[in-house]
Chain A
Amino acid sequence: MKKNVLVLMLVLFSSVTVFAQTTIKGSVVDAVSNEPIPQVKITIEETLQTILTDARGEFSFTENVPLGEQVLKLEKNGYISARYPIVVNEGGTVDITDMQMQIDVSNTQDLFTVTLSDDELSDDFSGADNVSGLLQSSRDVFLRTAAFEFSQSFFRVRGLDSENGTLLINGVEMNKQFSGRPQWNNWGGLNDVVRNQEFNNGISPNAYNFGGLLGTTNIDVRASHYRRGGRLTYSSSNRSYTNRVMGTYSSGLTKGGWAYTISLGRRWGEEGYQEGTLYDANSAFLAVEKQINENHSLNFTGIYAYNRRGRAASHTQEVFDLKGIRYNEWWGYQDGEMRNSRIRRTNEPIFMLNHYWKLSPKTTLNTNAAYQFGEIGNSRLDNNGVSKIENIDGTFSYEGGGANPSPVYYQKLPSYFLREFPEDPGIAFGAQQAFLNDGQINWNSLYQANISNAVTGKNAIYALTEDRNDDQQLSFNSILTSELSDNIQLNASVNYRKLKSENFGAIVDLLGGNGYLDVDGFADDISTAENDLNNPGRIVQEGDRFRYDFDLNAEVIGGFAQAQFRYSKVDFFLGASITNTQYQRDGKYRNGAFPDNSFGKSEKLTFTGLGAKAGATYKITGKHLINVSGAYLSKAPTLRNTFANSRENNNIVPNITEEKIMGGEASYIFRSPIVKARLTGHYTQIQDANEISFFFADGIGGVAANPEVNFDETSNFIQEILQGVDKKYFGAEFGIEAQVTPTLKLKGAASIGQYTYDNNPNLFISGEGFVDNNNNDVGFIPLGQSNLKNYRVAAGPQQAYSFGFEYRDPDYWWFSATANMFADTYIDISPLIRSENFATDIDGQPFNDYDEDIARELLRQERFDDYFVVNLVGGKSWRINDYFVGFFASVNNVLDEVFRTGGFEQGRNANYRQLRDDRALDTPVFGSRYWYGRGATYFVNVYVRF
């Protein structure tokens, strides 16, 4: 430490040379290896001017350089930030070469990535979502707290999900067109090489694109931007994987203008915190860059990340009470091995070519082409395989189907037996004992049923199937950055992307069966049972497509322009964007229930998105800043929320339109040498959003009563389409850190928000068998409005607080502890239960025993208990010759607090009577389903750097 200060002083006093123009230039090197560090963000604190060091670690400021005593701030992920005081004289040049940065041995990024992208609940299918990945590179104490301390609670910054953040790799957008969210698994296990991240928080200018309200993260994977050297890492954890091995080597920029980086990673484990959640992931990364000359550079990056994991289920409280929070219904033993029926596989390699062109000293043009292809598969057990019975008279029928293999199927749980046999509790007790003693999938019984069926020439009853998503996406963009004048920077980009997404069901394992007959075993008659009328009665084998098969085609063209103005007291920016989005479904099967609108292409949908944003920062003094910004954007709904029932037909969500998002924020920022703090108020409105979900509903009396619809069953699989949803988010966030002594830092963060539905959106349901009086399929049935207004959006805890400290010993060891409190976490409510259907009897009249007070109580939104989580982390590093050896360990939720992170109401009891009767039971049969946070878990990491 003392040595560094000495170096600094020398630099400081050797730096005065006279030129006509005032200039600050210099370079940054690694404090240990003396290798130059590229992509270090250098900020002049008073004016907030920033610049990044180049591949040689060099930088220079030539415009509007402030005079007098100034402070340069050096920041880069993986390094401890540094501040260097300098003195600037008019017309002089400050040349401050070889500023040193220390590797951040605490390296919280590793910790963070293990809780985030590895987390079970971050997948699209659980309904939960984690935005922390967007925040990991932030330096802001609040956002870092949100990323590292709050992420295990599925806290969402400002209540917004990750759809509202944009994730770029080398400037190419990685948010999926299907869900709007980034697919973290696509670069999982490559932590060493996705470390170079640039994050722009909230509504702020960024050089690449318009971005969302949560900001933009650009992961820089240019080969020349990696520091020369290598790293080997081994980690062990009981969170998701058991073991992780990673190795990375970067050449740095060689004299020939070449640079390359290679990284390999493997993560594996038989079981994570939840039972039966296997982990199996391999990753590989290669980036090669050639600096052709001063002005041109060409980079190739290839990312391969194969990931296969066993998923964990949500459960009702009854199940948690019996089996605990680690229980997972989805696995069972086969041949003595745990076999999980719900495997999520992702394998979507990315290849990109990037061209960097310095058009002039003040203008750069970055052009990128990327191709991503591959597959995502989510497996599940199918229990409805049938066989074609051909009769002697030429007629035939489809016979078969099996029992639900889920050990928590409601008819197997004690609550069901208590309801059905209230006078004989011994039956419920017997069921409870059976569930306690086993409660897992019985694979052998499935094999047995299939094999004995095969003996008689029949097809498989049970099959392990996969819902597949095979995407091919081509992206192209061009990003222009130009310093128009001393004070004005222009950013502009054009973007194009074309996606072909093949969606289909596939057979993974026939479980000893002969074949699987591709018809819908639930259908009432033979004609609607066909999944593909063009190939009726097809028997499929392992690997074959079945049940549904369609392409979603999307094409997006966009443009973005932005101007940033920087003056001594005020910085401001203006930005605008326009996007054209086209969607089309192309059905490959002619579905028996929808023969006229399932095969072939759907209507082509076109959406126009417009965006405008503006903001200003007023620098009262270097210590006090005020920042105000606002944005409006309209955008195409995601593919997922566009097609009403895409597996079966070409129907489009009724009244579909662009989603509108408006937001504004105002911040006060305080910076002193000891204390840094930020207080922000924010407000966001989302309008005309759609939400589609899919489930089995009992009691959709409102449908049966609709005079235009001929549907006499009162229970069915349905798609629930919530259309025209408005939501309102507002609140405040606060972060503070104080370096009370050179070794001790205190930090605190708080977020208080109110995130609610802001209207009563329209509710439609769609499904098979909704036909009008002329037997034409009506596609979907309006159920009127769902009374959601003022209900809370299920957006994680709406209040979160954190307080903690970091101790950093000069002897290269460190320790940090935080206490975190969470409140106002709400359950995801069922819109169906809050529609008119709720009070409607089968004849279309209100229930004669409807009691408003009881109804209000039934419809009250459940708020989860507040909870308190303590996290600890500490580590040490050693230098051995040219090698660094580091170690750290963290324990999350040290106190083993049991808490719910999320949950949803089951839509199965869709009307007043059913819900009332179910709730009246001691243990509801269709109680809400929950996810619980993990208890105490550990993560240990050792690494060698060279």
Chain B
Amino acid sequence: MNHFVNKDIMKKAMKYFKLLSTVFVFTVLASCVNDDEFSLPNVSIPEVDLSELGSETTFTALYSRYQQALADGDQIATFEFDAPTYITAYVISSDQAGNFFEELIIQNKVDDSDDATDPRLGLKVEVNVRSLSDTYEFGRKIYIKLNELALGESNGVLTLGKPAGSDIEQIQEFEYLDLIIRDPEVATITPKVITDIANIEEGDLNTYLQLSNVQMNRFELDLTYAGEPTDEFDGFRTVESCENSGTLRLQTSTFADFKSLPLPQGSGTMNGIYSRDFGDDFDVFIINTTADVAMAGERCDPIELSCGLASSVGVNNLFSDDFETQTPFQPIGGNGWTNYIEAGTETFEAYTSGGTNSSQGVSARVGSFQSGDDSSVAWLITPAIDLNANNGVTFSFESSNSFSDGSTLEILFSPDWDGTEANVTSATWGVIPDAFVVQDSDFFGAWFESGDVDLSCGTGTINIAFKYTGSGQSDFDGTYELDFITIDAQ
């Protein structure tokens, strides 16, 4: 073994190794590819130089402008020839949960304040961009440059968009950032509180409201917001006031993230945007997120008369009608009936029909299908029944339907109705839940017995009512049929 040679080689090797290492370390240090670590970019939004935007106008001026255009025979109002003009607004919609799509709803106030020169108003802005809330989140103050835009009606509400002939079109992705300018401010939006749904005004359209003391209609409590097979594009549910009979339809997109969530079961408040449905047929309420729903309070459902079903039926008939003596295709009358139309044009009428969907001789029916009504509510009320003077009172009827869909038939009672049509709606009405009413899913040709509904646990004098409520979509509503109504006692 030649140690000298070996050592020499090692020495030389070490020399090269050192050289190599030095070169290597140097190049590594000198050649850093800077793309691994990125710090948070500065995403703060600069103050807007309003002088560059031109002169500010008001929402109310825009509304007037649109009316003026209509008066001139135009369908849209444009700002092409105006001096540079903008409006200041706050975003009150959010598409984050998918319940709004390619639109911004804006209003001019952050709360319910109102003044004569600049009343509280809202607008819709159509933008062909998804996830607008990434840029224009709820409460964001914005400025909209109007000169390239137009005002028109879209789905029943006043809308800002791009002019396209006599229509308005969406603002496109390549231009929206130039037209809708963000202010650094994200305001806290306080909704206008609505205690009486009936008092919502036209001016509340596209503004942020709080419906107070409301609940979902008790017949829809099994439903989701918009996840039912019958929901197409939107699901419509009924919000009802606990204060009075006011109702409003809750509209939820079938693309909303919460569409499959069950409806809130209790009563409370709901914040959202008051608007019109897609077809401009009725008013709707649209929420941004279920976080805006606080309805866990006790329900305010009507009183109930529920004694279960009777094991036997007495022989003393207090009231009955098989409708055989009624005139077919005329409203039900006589025999002590009160046949009252609360809303719309439809009433309970006698009819005969053969075939699969046959009547039983002469029967009664009600339905708002193709009525053209915005709302159809009809009552058929029996004469008064004295539960104190009679023992073991029972009540039965048969019902059938023809695609009853969104409409409902309720079996109600009132302990205090005075027998006048004028006071039907102001009387107290409770429900008789034990009476079986035909379901939408039941075969349309069949008749169903209600069961012998025991009323013996009630007291006083009552009237029993069949109340029909259409869904407000008269193209869609179906019909209920009734027969063999009888009230007996021992």
Chain A residues packing against B (C-beta within 8 Å): 230, 232, 243, 245, 247-249, 251, 254-256, 260, 262, 264, 266, 268-270, 278-280, 282, 308, 310, 334-335, 337-340, 386, 389-395, 397-404, 412, 417, 421, 424, 427, 430-431, 433-435, 443-449, 451-453, 455-456, 461, 509, 512, 521, 524-526, 946
Contacts and interface: CB of A to CB of B under 8 A. Distances in A.
Given A249-B20, A266-B28, A525-B227, A444 B173 contact: no
B38 A509 contact: yes
A402 B33 contact: no
A280 B293 CA distance: 52
A232 B97 contact: no
B430 to A, nearest CB: 25
A339 B38 contact: yes
B311 interface: no
B33 A447 contact: no
B23 A245 contact: yes
B311 to A, nearest CB: 39
A430 B262 contact: no
A630 B38 CA distance: 56
Contacts of B21: 264
B98 A393 contact: no
A851 B257 CA distance: 40
B175 A262 contact: no
A249 B24 CA distance: 13
**Which interface residue of A255, A270, A386, A446 has the most chain B CB atoms within 10 A?**
A255
Nearest to B38: A334
B43 A392 contact: no
A230 B20 contact: yes
B369 to A, nearest CB: 27
B16 A449 contact: no
Nearest to B259: A524
Interface string B146-166: 000000000000000000100
Contacts of A266: 24, 27-28, 31
Given A243-B31, A335-B39, A389 B260 contact: no
Interface stretch (B127-135, B272-280, B315-323): B127-135
Given A245-B27, A262-B17, A389-B289, 7 more contacts: A268-B33, A335-B41, A392-B268, A401-B96, A401-B257, A424-B164, A434-B174
**Which interface residue of B17, B19, B96, B268 has the most chain A CB atoms within 10 A?**
B96
Contact of A524 (B23, B174, B260): B260
B456 to A, nearest CB: 36
Contacts of B303: none
Contact of A389 (B31, B40, B290, B296): B290
Nearest to B40: A512
B96 A400 contact: yes
B291 A391 contact: yes
Given A393-B265, A393-B266, A424-B169, A232 B23 contact: yes
Interface string B456-474: 0000000000000000000
B344 to A, nearest CB: 34
A259 to B, nearest CB: 11
Interface size, B (range): 35 or more
Contacts, number: 179
A118 to B, nearest CB: 15
Contacts of B6: 254-256
A389 B41 contact: no
Nearest to A284: B24
B24 A245 contact: yes
B9 interface: yes
A395 B173 contact: no
Interface string B242-275: 0000000000000001101110111010000000
B13 interface: yes
Given A264-B24, A447-B43, A397 B290 contact: yes
B295 interface: yes
A243 B33 CA distance: 11
Given A255-B6, A451-B43, A403 B129 contact: yes
Nearest to A269: B33
A264 B20 contact: yes
B interface SS class: loop
13 contacts: A251-B13, A262-B20, A264-B24, A266-B24, A308-B33, A335-B38, A337-B34, A392-B296, A395-B290, A403-B131, A452-B137, A521-B257, A524-B260
A516 B367 CA distance: 51
A462 B98 CA distance: 16
A111 to B, nearest CB: 21
Interface string B1-33: 110011001100100110111011001100101
A400 B257 contact: yes
A227 B390 CA distance: 118
Contacts of B16: 230, 249, 946
A389 B5 contact: no
Given A389-B289, A392-B295, A512-B43, A399 B257 contact: yes
Contacts of A455: 186
B174 A282 contact: no
B69 interface: no
A445 B17 contact: no
B446 interface: no
A427 B172 contact: yes
A740 B431 CA distance: 108
**Which interface residue of B35, B38, B265, B268 has the most chain A CB atoms within 10 A?**
B35
The 6 closest A-B pairs by CB, nearest first: A434-B174, A449-B134, A399-B97, A403-B131, A397-B258, A247-B20
Given A251-B9, A395-B262, A402 B134 contact: yes
B385 to A, nearest CB: 39
A157 to B, nearest CB: 34
B343 interface: no
A525 B260 contact: yes
A391 B271 CA distance: 13
B33 A280 contact: yes
Contacts of A394: 296
Given A245-B24, A270-B33, A444 B38 contact: no
A262 B13 CA distance: 10
**Which interface residue of B20, B33, B98 has the most chain A CB atoms within 10 A?**
B33
Contacts of B289: 389, 399
B2 A255 contact: yes
B174 A431 contact: yes
Contacts of B41: 334-335, 443-444, 447
B387 interface: no
Contact of A445 (B2, B23, B39, B134): B134
Nearest to A390: B291
A394 B129 CA distance: 33
A944 B487 CA distance: 112
A701 B459 CA distance: 61
Contacts of B258: 389, 397, 399
B294 interface: yes
Given A262-B17, A392-B268, A403 B174 contact: no
Contact of B131 (A249, A251, A401, A512): A401
Contacts of B35: 270, 278, 280, 310, 337-340
